[in-house]
A and B are shown apart, each in its own frame.
Chain A
Amino acid sequence: MRPYVAKRLAQALGVLWAAYTLSFLVLDYLPGDPVSAMAGAGADTGQVDPAQLASLRHEYGFDKPVLAQYADYLGRAVRGDFGDSVSTGRPVTSTLADALPQTLQLTGAALLLAVVLGGGLAVLATYTTRRWLRQLLLSLPPLGVSVPTFWVGLVLVELFSFRTRLFPAFGNDGLRGLVLPAVTLAVPTGALVAQVLAKSLLTALDQAYVETARAKGAGRLRIHLRHALRNASLPALTVVGLLAGQLIAGSVVVESVFSRDGLGRVTAAAVTVQDIPLVQGVVVFGALIFVTANLIVDLVYPLLDPRIVVAASRKVRPA
């Protein structure tokens, strides 16, 4: 078990470093810099003293050679210091820490909805013996994956906020404010869960052990839930790891449509004004969430299927 965990941890750190480095390179390649972005947005004529721009650039360290900037930033990032946001002057870490709970609420609620609704849909679709119902239910996930998230959000707002005023159209006000954004974000996520789970359920139901269980006299429902679902949930669990990434990406759109505070909004705003320290922080932070989710999934696997550790450990040892 220990080499397996160590390997997974090393991979996670590698992903974080790659995310940091790639985002640094991309941001460095982009034309302009945050200081001229500030000046350009403030005065539409660009009547700014170049000397002042230069002194600001110096203050933020944008005048150093790229490699020196990289080493400098990476060194501090390792210690958890991502510098100050150029647009607000607040430390990047506290900006992210403030936004995080809002996004966790949103993505948590969405994930829960996605698993319950998507999982329920998959179980129902594979359990029913009515052909037409199964076809209908199985056609929903591709639809859910393909409709644009912001369109779903706008439809929900129109129906449940503007027309009926059941829920607020924007803001972070408690549970009522969470409903529409969470449902919006749950649509593509739940669809993915449903798609994967339905497929692996159908595969599992064809396996020999199902026949065995049936021969032993187990009921249809029992076979479906106890035997097939347990085995089919492994691929679905892999997907949940990937979903962490999808949820973070989706929160950019959902938080913008519903004007919710959170990491997504911070990201959108940071990118618009080229707030490089903040964008870097967001990228690494997003990668951290993604990596952590996948690490948890990786560590949960062996609990469901001990063979995984054996296989992984074998690969780690030199041949």
Chain B
Amino acid sequence: MTAHPDSRTPRWAALAALVTSSLLLSACSSSGSGSSSGEGGRPKSGGTLTFAVSSDAGCVDPQQVGSNDTIYSLRQIVDSLTDQDPKTGKIVPWLAKSWEVSSDTTTFTFHLRSGVTFSDGSPLTAQVVKENFDAVPKLGALATLAQGYLSGVESTTAVDPLTVRVRFKQPNAQFLQATATHSLGIESSASVRRSPQEKCSKGVVGSGPFELNGYVQNQSITLARRAEYAWGSSLWTKQGAAYLDKLVFKVVPEAGVRTGSLQSGQVDAIGSVGRANEAALRGGAVNLQQRANPGVVFNLGLNNSRPLLKDAKVRQAILFAIDRQQIVDAVFPTGTEPATSILARTTPDHTDLGSDLAFDAARAKSLLDSAGWKADGDGVRVKDGKRLSLTVKWFANAATNQPALELIQQQLKAVGVEVVLKQLQIAQFSPTLQSGDFDAVWGNVTRADPDILRSSYSTRLANFYHLPAGPLDSALTQQAATTDAAKRKQLVAQAQQLIVRNAYAVPVVELQTQLGVAKKVHDLDFDASSRIQLHDTWIG
């Protein structure tokens, strides 16, 4: 049900004129209002920001929610132990003033700020943090993100009222970044004790700059500023309480309605702006803001144990046969970048392997020739009577999936590889991965830490892609066990090279988050995970 306002507008204008010309006149005169000069003016307090998102996860507990649309609002009600600089990927203080990590990355000790209170009045203590970290794993499948960050935890101890220590059974360098995410946002003691369902429907109590004021399922999430807030992230520019009095997140599923509501000033910002809506938003009192999502890029996740795909030459041929720039230009929102590695640019320790991912159809063909796959009459290569045909399973969780895959299908056909596309229910995602019943799956993972490579590609973990054990494992294991930033960067680079050069997976395109924001809204900034922080945001 995605509308295409770019092609629609002229037709609708004619319709409007037909109905009544005076209505149209008033419409034209109003469209120019509301814009103010970009960066001019001093920040001022007060006002309400109305933000239209496309969906509601049906739950208002940041520890349980994984959908961006809902994270936008819930991120504002909880603080995290740490924050992550979106420019450098560096972990910086927030609720924790400082921390120590043991040299084997199994033990993390956090020193909390004093004087922090939750919106129910209770103070932040080491004990509350412990209660949070003890409760999260019990949420199980209800909180897959948060639970993953804490997997392998041995114990959490309150060393003293403001010192908390987390011990893991194995080295776990990713945990520090995990403490910067909304998923491990700290909730008050009373809040932690609520049942998961209760937290979902009634919400949670955090120590964030805003508190939950109202939740109407499928309709809106309303947040109010906490005047006494004084423990913001070290990344924020404003000290103390936030500028805005109120935040209202409206759920507006129809892309065309979101776009029109932003243009007509009924909302101040919108999420999920697709290519089809860009044209309508350009030139008005609106800024388009984009940032690539960190983590594993959209890729063809190959099942490396399939007879066809066991041969590195075949995998590499697929990698070279894809013209990433063409896909980006044809399908994705403006500003989207072709993949330059298995990790997106915005992931810490990303290595630019763009030249390894350059489109080279001739090379793809010669690789297939040398692997014994000969071109046949109908264009699909054959070997020992078998056709070079693979099935890509995909899930309808983004409007861009189908057109992107259809283009890939054409590009691979051009070198003699047949691709059969099979759409599955989102519910079948994890059963499909677990069963291993696929040649390739299309997907991505958002995570602002390179350790996501270990969860996805280490043969010592789930190994959904059936990679052979080898040097990649040791690189992935070692990067998880080092506190030396330079050494970790080098190991992560090595892992990316091994994945790309062996074509264990075929990186295609970075996922980009695109927002539409009225020009009168200032400093609505992306965080390191390409979600938003609204503490510094002001309207003027």
Q: Which residues of A contact B (CB under 8 A)?
A: 30-50, 52-53, 55-56, 84-85, 87-90, 95, 98, 150, 154-155, 157-159, 161-165, 168-172, 256-259, 261, 265-266, 268-269, 273-274
Q: Provide a sorted-by-A list of 20 A–B residue pairs whose CB atoms are within 8 angstroms.
A: A36-B427, A36-B428, A41-B66, A48-B144, A87-B59, A88-B200, A89-B196, A95-B217, A154-B254, A155-B15, A157-B260, A158-B16, A163-B24, A164-B26, A169-B260, A169-B266, A171-B250, A259-B253, A261-B219, A269-B58
Contact present for B145 and A43 (CB under 8 Å)? yes
Contact present for A157 and B142 (CB under 8 Å)? no
Contact present for B141 and A159 (CB under 8 Å)? no
Binds A, one of B327-335, B385-393, B430-438: B430-438
Which residues from A are CB-within-8-Å of B56?
Answer: 269
Contact present for B200 and A49 (CB under 8 Å)? no
CB distance from A187 to the nearest CB of B (A): 15
Best-buried of B1, B198, B217 by chain A (most CB within 10 Å) = B217
Which residues from B are CB-within-8-Å of A36?
Answer: 427-431
Which residues from B are CB-within-8-Å of A169?
Answer: 252, 257, 260-261, 264, 266
Contact present for B425 and A31 (CB under 8 Å)? yes
Contact present for B141 and A52 (CB under 8 Å)? yes
Residues of chain B in range 221-266 having any CB-CB distance to chain A below 8 Å? 250-254, 256-257, 260-261, 263-264, 266
Which residues from B are CB-within-8-Å of A155?
Answer: 12, 15
Residues of chain B in range 369-417 having any CB-CB distance to chain A below 8 Å? 395, 397
Also in contact, A55 and B264, with CB within 8 A (given A44-B443, A47-B462, A257-B254): no
A131 to B141, CA, bound (A): 68
Contact present for B145 and A42 (CB under 8 Å)? yes
Q: Is B3 an interface residue (CB 8 A)?
A: yes
Which residues from B are CB-within-8-Å of A41?
Answer: 57, 66-67, 397, 426
Indicate which residue in B16, B197, B256, B443 contacts A84 across the interface (CB closer than 8 Å): B197
17 more CB-based (< 8 A) A-B contacts, given A161-B264, A265-B218: A31-B425, A36-B428, A40-B395, A40-B427, A41-B426, A43-B430, A44-B443, A46-B430, A50-B434, A154-B257, A155-B12, A158-B16, A162-B27, A169-B252, A259-B257, A269-B218, A273-B58
Contact present for B16 and A44 (CB under 8 Å)? no
A168 to B64, CA, bound (A): 32
Indicate which residue in A43, A172, A265 contacts B66 across the interface (CB closer than 8 Å): A43
Cβ-closest 8 pairs across A and B: A89-B197, A32-B427, A46-B430, A163-B27, A43-B144, A37-B427, A40-B429, A162-B260
Contact present for A38 and B141 (CB under 8 Å)? yes
A85 to B218, CA, bound (A): 14
Which residues from B are CB-within-8-Å of A98?
Answer: 217
Contact present for A47 and B201 (CB under 8 Å)? no
Contact present for B261 and A35 (CB under 8 Å)? no
A84 to B142, CA, bound (A): 15
Q: Is B143 an interface residue (CB 8 A)?
A: yes
| 1/0 contact string of B490-528 vs chain A (CB within 8 Å) | 000000000000000000000000000000000000000
Indicate which residue in A31, A45, A84, A172 contacts B456 across the interface (CB closer than 8 Å): A45
| CB-CB nearest in chain B for A57 | B141
Which residues from A are CB-within-8-Å of B452?
Answer: 45
Contact present for A47 and B455 (CB under 8 Å)? yes
Q: Is B446 an interface residue (CB 8 A)?
A: yes
Q: Is B216 an interface residue (CB 8 A)?
A: yes
CB distance from B314 to the nearest CB of A (A): 24
Contact present for A46 and B429 (CB under 8 Å)? yes
Contact present for B19 and A88 (CB under 8 Å)? no
Q: Is B288 an interface residue (CB 8 A)?
A: no
Contact present for A274 and B197 (CB under 8 Å)? no
| 1/0 contact string of B161-199 vs chain A (CB within 8 Å) | 000000000000000000000000000000000011110
Also in contact, A87 and B261, with CB within 8 A (given A158-B16, A163-B24): no
A317 to B59, CA, bound (A): 55
Also in contact, A44 and B425, with CB within 8 A (given A154-B3, A259-B257): no
Also in contact, A90 and B250, with CB within 8 A (given A41-B67, A165-B264): no
Which residues from A are CB-within-8-Å of B59?
Answer: 87-88
Contact present for B141 and A165 (CB under 8 Å)? no
Contact present for B1 and A150 (CB under 8 Å)? yes
Q: Is B140 an interface residue (CB 8 A)?
A: yes
Q: Is B444 an interface residue (CB 8 A)?
A: yes
Indicate which residue in A33, A150, A171 contacts B427 across the interface (CB closer than 8 Å): A33
Which residues from A are CB-within-8-Å of B43?
Answer: none
Which residues from A are CB-within-8-Å of B445?
Answer: 44-45
A35 to B428, CA, bound (A): 11
| CB-CB nearest in chain B for A150 | B1
Q: Is B486 an interface residue (CB 8 A)?
A: no
Best-buried of A33, A37, A157, A169 by chain B (most CB within 10 Å) = A169
Contact present for B16 and A161 (CB under 8 Å)? no
Which residues from B are CB-within-8-Å of A33?
Answer: 427
Q: Is B37 an interface residue (CB 8 A)?
A: no
Contact present for B144 and A47 (CB under 8 Å)? yes
Which residues from B are CB-within-8-Å of A43?
Answer: 66, 144-145, 148, 430
Which residues from A are CB-within-8-Å of B23?
Answer: 159, 163-164
Which residues from B are CB-within-8-Å of A90?
Answer: 197, 201
Also in contact, A257 and B446, with CB within 8 A (given A87-B59, A89-B200, A171-B219): no
Contact present for A39 and B257 (CB under 8 Å)? no
| 1/0 contact string of B133-145 vs chain A (CB within 8 Å) | 0000000111111
A158 to B444, CA, bound (A): 35
Q: Is B30 an interface residue (CB 8 A)?
A: yes
| CB-CB nearest in chain B for A265 | B218
Contact present for A31 and B443 (CB under 8 Å)? no
Indicate which residue in B16, B65, B67, B433 contacts A159 across the interface (CB closer than 8 Å): B16
Which residues from B are CB-within-8-Å of A47?
Answer: 144, 148, 455, 461-462
A48 to B216, CA, bound (A): 29
A52 to B137, CA, bound (A): 10
Which residues from B are CB-within-8-Å of A45?
Answer: 433, 445, 452, 455-456, 464
